[in-house]
Amino acid sequence: MTKRATIVGGGVIGGGWAARFLLMGWDVRVFDPDPEAERKIGEVLDNARRSLPGLSDVAMPAEGKLSFHETISEAVAGSDWIQESVPERLDLKRKVYQTLQEHCSPDAVIGSSTSGFKPSELQGCATRPAQIVVTHPFNPVYLLPLIELVTTEKNDAALIERAKDIITSLGMFPLHLKKEIDAHIADRFLEAVWREALWLIKDGIATTEEIDNAIRYGFGLRWGQMGLFETYRVAGGEAGMKHFIAQFGPCLEWPWTKLMDVPELTDELVDMIADQSDAQSGAYTIRELERIRDNNLVAMMRALKTQDWGAGALLRVQDKRMMPAEPDLLKPIVTVSRAVPLDWTDYNGHMNEARYVQAFGDGTDKFMEFVGCDEDYIANGGSYFTAETHIRYIDELNAGARIRVETICVLGEGKKMHLFHQMFEGDRLVATGEMMLIHVSLKTRRASNPAPHIEEKLAKVAAAHAALPRPEGIGRAIGVIGVKA
């Protein structure tokens, strides 16, 4: 059954939550008295639709239904999750919870996007404090996986587990803080850095652009994949973490940072920052910057996915959860079903030629897995290598296109595996990929026969596929052009 989420407060953060739920197949009901809410959420949703599906290497669920509601009571009816993202005023939030709890299911999770308040403060005057937790996300919510889940001893243990499961099922990472603290974890760091940055600008040491460059050309890249402590563990070298702290610790006593002081936000300082920021990024509109940011995040997160590390490791686990079941042998096997990611296009504005081969290669991997040449088998020293590939690029594909690869086994005998892939967007054939693979021993790196269970399964598939109609184009050489001319 389709799950239902309610979004209370639909700005950039609420809109991001709405997009995340919708694209993961949930129905979403929004309550926001702002007459602009529908437009604002629509814009966030546009950004999410172009960036999130391509993070995944399998098909996302069908998008849920989005609706807007005039009253909280209507918006929360039948919801499994209620996400509150109203402005950071405790009295307002408490009032919202009172109304919410009058109408919502007592089993629903009520999560707050607050970056500053502790859950005990939010639970303060509530009818059912056990139901209210902090689930603090990071912008853009539809791409970044981190959720700070902060609970108190008043929260129901089963509800906490349910909250974790749901956050995980959305492709996010629940970082559970069992002890509450002002501003949770990440925003404490952000505040410390922000204060220091304001001083650097006020004192004329650096501009906004210089500060950003100091971050993104240096430690920002380290932090994107390992964070603080693992980075220093590596820096400490063989001597280890203890040695590193002993060496570095005393520096912390030096009065480097401005620390306690906050520079007064005078008009002059605010103008200085705004002017510097215009000089740095004013060539782009905010909408353009949003898309640049999303392109960068998708490319970096997909890069980490190739390394199975950090945010990329989370994406891999999520893909495994969404992987489809066993195929029907009497049809061509659907070996790829995915969206074209933002980083697969090139200067011609369409999917790059190498990415067709990557998608067909993913199809080959899936087919190999299906006949038993899986991770375990490869770890034990057998695999298939591609010996030859023939691609016909029949039509263009844009970022975001939902593609499907259908695979036929032309031959599966002895060392040879001959596959013919067809790539479709809907009913439109966009490319064919013919591939000849050879089974090899990973030890000798030479051709060898596959294990009997693979040979058997392969023979069975090849026999079944021999009965299928042969697609046009098998066995062709370059020269006969398939492109529309």
3-class DSSP state of 358: helix
State the nearest-atom distance from the C-beta of 342 to a copy of itself, in Å.
9
Q: At what angle do helices 12-23 and 37-51 cross, to 10 degrees?
A: 50
Nearer to a copy of itself, 265 or 323 (CB): 265
Is 378 known to sit in a ligand binding site?
Answer: no
Judge whether 403 and 359 are in contact, CB under 8 Å: yes
Residues 6+ apart with CB under 8 A from 48: 16, 19, 20, 22, 23, 140, 142, 143
Is 482 known to sit in a ligand binding site?
Answer: no
State the nearest-atom distance from the C-beta of 4 to a copy of itself, in Å.
26
Given CA atoms 459, 463, 468, 470 in this order, what sign does their dihedral have? positive
Both structure tokens of 335: 């070996």
Report the run of H or E that residue 438 belongs to, with start and end.
strand 428-441
State the nearest-atom distance from the C-beta of 310 to a copy of itself, in Å.
5
CB atoms near residue 73 (< 10 Å): 14
Distance CA 80, CA 137 (A): 18
Nearer to a copy of itself, 76 or 409 (CB): 409
Is 10 known to sit in a ligand binding site?
Answer: yes
State the nearest-atom distance from the C-beta of 199 to a copy of itself, in Å.
9
Greatest C-alpha distance within the chain: 78
State the nearest-atom distance from the C-beta of 464 to a copy of itself, in Å.
22
State the nearest-atom distance from the C-beta of 319 to a copy of itself, in Å.
15
Name the one residue in this structure whose structure tokens are 């369409």.
Answer: 350
Q: What are phi and psi of 229, to 5 degrees?
A: -75, -40
Is 433 known to sit in a ligand binding site?
Answer: no
Q: Residue 327 carries which DSSP code?
A: P
CB atoms near residue 110 (< 10 Å): 29
Nearer to a copy of itself, 146 or 329 (CB): 146
CB atoms near residue 429 (< 10 Å): 17
Nearest to 406 by CA among 426, 388, 389: 426
State the nearest-atom distance from the C-beta of 9 to a copy of itself, in Å.
15
Burial class of residue 244, CB neighbours in 10 A (0-12, 13-18, 19+): middle
Nearer to a copy of itself, 107 or 182 (CB): 182
Nearer to a copy of itself, 185 or 464 (CB): 185
Is 12 known to sit in a ligand binding site?
Answer: yes
Nearer to a copy of itself, 153 or 347 (CB): 347
Nearer to a copy of itself, 77 or 387 (CB): 387
Bridge partners, 5 (sequence order):
28, 81
Nearer to a copy of itself, 161 or 388 (CB): 388
Judge whether 30 and 41 are in contact, CB under 8 Å: yes
Distance CA 336, CA 72 (A): 41
Is 13 known to sit in a ligand binding site?
Answer: yes
State the nearest-atom distance from the C-beta of 256 to a copy of itself, in Å.
4
The annotation places the binding site at: 9-14
The annotation places the binding site for NAD(+) at: 9-14
